[in-house]
Amino acid sequence: ESTGDQESNNRYNDLISTLPSQRWGPDGLDLHQYNGFWYPRITVEATMAVRDRFVARPTDVILVTFPKSGTTWLKALTFATVNRNRSLVLSMLSKMNPHECVPFMSKLYLDGRLSDNNSLPAPRLFAVHTPFFLLPESVLSSGCRIVYLCRDPKDNFVSLWHHFFVCAGVRGLAHFSFDEVFELFCSGVTMGGPIWEHALGYWRESLQRPERVMFMKYEEMKADTGGSLRRLSEFIGCPFLEEEEREGKVEEIVEMCSFERLSGLEVNKNGSIVFGRGEIKNKGFFRKGEVGDWKRHLSLEMAERLDRITEEKLRGSGLEF
Ligand code: A3P
């Protein structure tokens, strides 16, 4: 660790200790409010380090999602698309969880240092949950592509509840009720929240600079995965050629990354990966993969309340769920 890094790391820690915090998930998962958004301590620190030290290349592709909006799926689809002609690399998707194929930028930050990842072939793929205005400066100035994915807040909430509070694979069980976590979600206090401001930041940017930011919704991807994949591939500069279309390449990748196939792989049934300070069972990333599952979990009152907040927050923006 260089002296400069050490000084920055001390600065991050000093700053984090002044941030508002909120008990949220299982032990060690308290959230801290950094520039209006709630993240665990380790993520805030990594966000600052990445912002200070990450150097983007024009060919990079940055996948941005709200937690539990379909990150795993988007990682798989993008990884398969850019590596479709490298069979050895592509085979990683059958042996590894998509999170091991496309790293979170925050994972580059380990033991107080940011690894450079310079040896990765172009296009390098990285993922973040970071709000638009907190992305590293070079991501904005390099001209690289940003793909954003979000989801109906109702389904997003239900998915999040299961992942962080029900799924036993995540650092032990938390002592929060469904109603309490819902209440916090509505007030913006949730992993990466508030969800509305997160989406709006990328939505506005996608309208202003459509060549830089592509905005996607989980529901649209489910309704027409092939169409979404074609749009994605064009946006990141590797469109499917006529010949590939004839060969059914798009359908092949859609199938390769489908919920059924990925969730059925040995690595995703029984494997686990290191996340933050804990281990997460890969099966926790594959629950149902459906649109509208909120109907089985939210009361009508809760659904209406969340819809009302969403409507108020997004009013006038042109973004709807
Ligand atoms: P559900 O909990 O509603 O089933 P993330 O990847 O951001 O953590 O989001 C997880 C959500 O995406 C989960 O939603 C999960 O089931 C769903 N998912 C994972 N892989 C998927 C795939 N290949 N196709 C569609 N949905 C998928």
Q: Which residues are catalytic?
A: 129
Burial (Cβ within 10 Å: 0-12, 13-18, ≥19) of residue 231: middle
How confident is the prediction along the chain (321 residues), in pLDDT tens digits per residue? 577 788 999 999 999 999 999 988 766 579 999 999 999 999 999 999 999 999 999 999 999 999 999 999 999 999 999 999 999 999 999 999 999 999 999 888 887 888 877 788 899 999 999 999 999 999 999 999 999 999 999 999 999 999 888 875 444 455 788 999 999 999 999 999 999 999 999 999 999 999 999 999 999 999 999 999 999 999 999 999 999 999 999 999 999 999 999 999 999 999 999 876 678 889 999 999 999 999 999 999 999 999 999 999 999 999 999
Instruction: Report CA(20)–ligand 1 centroid distance (Å).
Output: 30
Query: Which H or E element spans position 267?
Result: helix 266-270
Tokens of 132: 């638009």
Amino acid at site 217: K
Contact of 200 with 86, CB cutoff 8 Å? no
Residue tagged 């805030």 (tokens)? 44
Name the residue with the closest Cα to ligand 1, atom 10: 68
Instruction: Report CA(92)–ligand 1 centroid distance (Å).
Output: 19
Is the pTM higher than 0.90? yes
Distance CA 202, CA 132 (A): 6
Q: Helices (H), strands (E): how many in the chain?
A: 17, 11
Ranges assigned E (strand) in 151-234: 213-217
